[in-house]
Amino acid sequence: MAAPKKEVDTESRILDAAHRVFLREGTSGARMQEIANEAGVNKALLHYYFQNKQRLADAVFLRVVRNLFPAVQQIFESDQPFEDKVRAFVASEFDTMDANPYMPGYVISELQQQPGRIKALLESSGPPPLDAIQGSLDKEIAAGRYHPITAADFFLTALSLILYPYAARPGVTMLTEMNGESLDAMFARRREMTAEWLLRMVRKSSSEP
């Protein structure tokens, strides 16, 4: 720790490069040579630090899923009104996705192609905070303000609305082009609208019993 180097160390440079390449191309599509190029080092160094391709891929996967849920946990355990929690959660997820737009597609691909990794995901990310969500929801439902819904359904629906457009980004580009609109404009609008859409889905309208 004494005398910190200006440049990040080689191991981190490799891991960062591997992160970018694996997320773009998937584990099986990525080449060690391309990672080495992107890291600005020789191919042999990847093996020096990470032994083989599988271990390097595992390290990237763990780093990606490690920070999936902690922010959510904090938000739903706070003491804001439920609808503010939802808005904060949606905003937080959009921020994360803008910083890692390839993440949803990557995680979907990896889990489909290597289902065994779901175990590593759970251990590394911790469970999604269903209990905290359910507690908040049940209060609204009991008060007659919301339609009944399980926390799992609400959570999955929220993730669907937020993550799918990023995962399917090339297809979304196609949609926006038909619209004469930019992809960024569409995402910006959905960032604002998604929380309200979610809330309209669960709120009872005033005329309902």
Partner DNA sequence: GTCTATATGGCGATAGAC
Partner DNA sequence: GTCTATCGCCATATAGAC
Binding site for a copy of itself (CB under 8 A): 24-29, 102, 105-109, 111-113, 115, 118, 121-122, 127-128, 130, 150, 152-153, 155-157, 159-161, 163-165, 167-176, 178-179, 181, 186, 189-190, 193, 197, 200-201, 203, 205-207
C-alpha distances in angstroms, 36 versus 49, 60, 110, 117? 12, 15, 22, 25
Query: Using CB under 7 A, which residues numbered 1 to 20 contact DNA?
Result: 10
Q: Which position among 12, 24, 54, 142 is part of the footprint of DNA (CB under 7 A)?
A: 54
Structure tokens, 78: 């706070």
Instruction: Look at residue 44 and give the partner it binds from DNA, a copy of itself, none, a contact being a CB closer than 5 to 8 Å depending on partner kind.
Output: DNA
Largest pairwise CA distance in the chain: 69
3-state helix, strand, coil in the chain (%, to 5): 75, 0, 25
AA identity, residue 150: T
C-alpha distances in angstroms, 196 versus 83, 130, 143, 176, 199? 9, 20, 20, 22, 5
Instruction: Look at residue 171 and give the partner it binds from DNA, a copy of itself, none, a contact being a CB closer than 5 to 8 Å depending on partner kind.
Output: a copy of itself
Q: How many Å apart are CA 23 and CA 5, to the nearest integer?
A: 28
Instruction: Rank residues 47 and 203 by Cβ distance to DNA and give the closer one.
Output: 47
CB of 75 to a copy of itself, least distance (A): 18
Q: Of 25-33, 74-82, 157-165, 195-203, which segment contacts DNA by CB under 7 A?
A: 25-33
Instruction: Look at residue 12 and give the partner it binds from a copy of itself, DNA, none, a contact being a CB closer than 5 to 8 Å depending on partner kind.
Output: none
Q: With CA atoms as reference, report the closest residue to 144 among 86, 205, 190, 197.
A: 205
CB of 106 to DNA, least distance (A): 17
List interacting residues with DNA (CB under 7 A). Answer: 10, 30-33, 41-45, 47-48, 51-54
